[in-house]
Amino acid sequence: MPDIASQPLLCVRDVQRASRWYQSVLGAQSGHGGDEYERIVHADVLLLQLHVIDAEHHHGLLMNPDLPLGNGVAVWFHVADLDAAAKRAQAVEAHVVQDIHVNPNARHRELWLRDPDGYLVVLSGA
């Protein structure tokens, strides 16, 4: 494991729904489960944390529930097989923002989606 790894956390309306969506699209698994908090993992590596918008726990609210979710946030995942990920996204009827295309700056293919809470999710890969 690298010396530093990101562990993004998204606030969502329904943790279980978001968990199912991310597990399906990414081909990942639940690493925690629950109504208020979830860890999405693949091969024992943490990919994403999900937290319900109105649970305070020990840290207080993580966001202002009056503001729109997903505004200004893009979550990127590199996947080994972008075509397989696109099929998984299609199976859950994910909202496609931009179908598979080549990003000339990054020199790879990308698929842009919106998750159930409106977050922009970009899958990149071969």
Structure confidence at residue 75 (pLDDT): 96
User: Per the domain annotation, does 3 fall within a domain?
Assistant: no
Structural domain of residue 59, as residue ranges? 9-125
- CATH assignment at residue 102: 3.10.180.10
Give the contacts of 96 (CB within 8 A, at least 6 positions apart): 89, 111, 112, 113
Number of H helices, E strands in the chain: 2, 8
pLDDT per residue rounded down to tens, the chain (126 residues) = 578 889 999 999 999 999 999 999 999 999 998 999 999 999 999 999 999 987 666 565 566 777 788 888 999 999 999 999 999 999 999 999 999 999 999 999 999 999 999 999 999 997
| Structural domain includes residue 50 | yes
* The pLDDT value given to residue 70: 84
